[in-house]
Amino acid sequence: MIKKIDALVGKLLEGPKVVHRGVLGVFYYVDDVTTLVTTLRGLGHTNITVTSPVPHHDVEKALGQGPSLVRWVTFCGGFLGATAGFSLCFYSMYSWPLVVGGKELTSLPPFVVIGYESMILLGALSNLIAMLALARLPQLKAPAPYDARFTEDRIGVWVPGDGPEAERVRDLMRGHGAEEVTLHA
């Protein structure tokens, strides 16, 4: 019974086959990848995907990645959260005005706690949503060919393309220390 369920889940996870066109290189050394990426970018390739078990700063530099947009979304979420927290306190006080001990209805200091916690809550949730949206998560199918070794100790470089251009990239990868190069056409 469990075996049958397992086989069914396996089928569901596999999903429909996706056809990729391009070249996938598997590397071990980080500096090989850095040099290859620099060379590829020099030749005009911009759509390069580097997949690795840990982030490598040298590779990030070679790819010329700019800062992430996540920070702006997080900032807006935090701002919205603080505004919502304070607004809720003020609104509730005026919707049922109840003077306690002759004090002002809108006493700001206690509302700071609500505003502050709401700022952190919405900031964190916006941070999460922005990260997931920009990193295209969750995803059922990887946008490029994937290998289980990329979560172990190998680095994958994927360059989309076909024809003689793809063959040139394949040769370039071989010349830059790739352990394996696969042409997807």
Partner 1 sequence: MTTSALDPHAVTASDGHDPHGVTDPAITQKSLNADSLRLISKPGPWWWGIFILDLTILAIGMIAERNQIALGIGVAGHTRPVMWASYVTNFVFWVGIAHCGTLVSAVLFLFRSHFRRSVYRIAEAMTVFGVMTAGLFPIIHLGRPWFPYWLFPYPNQRQLWPNFRSPLEWDVFAVTTYMTVSTVFFLVGMIPDAAAARDRAKSAIAKAWFTIFSMGWTGSNVQWKHYYTAYLFFAALATPLVFSVHSVVSWDFAMAQVPGWHSTIFAPYFVAGAIFSGVAMVINLIIPIRKAFKLEHIVTTDHMEKLAKLVLFTSTIVGYSYLTEFFMAWYGPSKYERDIFWWRATGHFAWAFWIMFTCNVIIPLSLWFKPVRRNMAVLFVLCLFVNVGMWFERFVIIVTSLAHPFEPATWDINYRMSWTEAAVLAGSFAWFLMYFLIFIRVLPAFSIAEVKETLIPPKRKAAA
**Rule CB under 8 A: which of 65-124 touch partner 1?**
65, 67-68, 70-71, 74, 78, 85, 88-89, 92-93, 95-96, 100, 107, 110-111, 113-114, 116-118, 120-121, 123-124
Tell me which residues in 120-179 interact with partner 1 (CB under 8 A): 120-121, 123-125, 127-128, 130-132, 134-144, 146, 148, 150-153, 177
Instruction: Report the C-alpha gap between 95 and 140 in whole angstroms.
Output: 47
Alpha-carbon 140 to chain mean position: 14
CB of 75 to partner 1, least distance (A): 9
CB of 16 to partner 1, least distance (A): 15
CB of 164 to partner 1, least distance (A): 26
Alpha-carbon 121 to chain mean position: 21
Q: Which is nearer to partner 1, 163 or 180 (CB)?
A: 180
Number of shown-chain residues binding partner 1 (CB under 8 A): 78
Regarding 18 and contact with partner 1 (CB under 8 A), the answer is no
CB of 43 to partner 1, least distance (A): 18
Q: Cis (ω within 30 of 0) for the bond into 138? A: yes
Q: Which is nearer to partner 1, 107 or 185 (CB)?
A: 107
Estimate the crossing angle of helix 164-175 against helix 30-42, to 10 degrees. Answer: 140
The residue whose two tokens read 């006080």 is 93
CB of 25 to partner 1, least distance (A): 14
Eight-class DSSP state of 135: T
**Ramachandran assignment for 177, one of left (phi > 0), alpha (psi -120 to 50 degrees), beta (any other):** left
Instruction: Report the C-alpha gap between 181 and 158 in whole angstroms.
Output: 10
Closest CA to 86 of 42, 119, 131: 119
Q: Which is nearer to partner 1, 111 or 183 (CB)?
A: 111
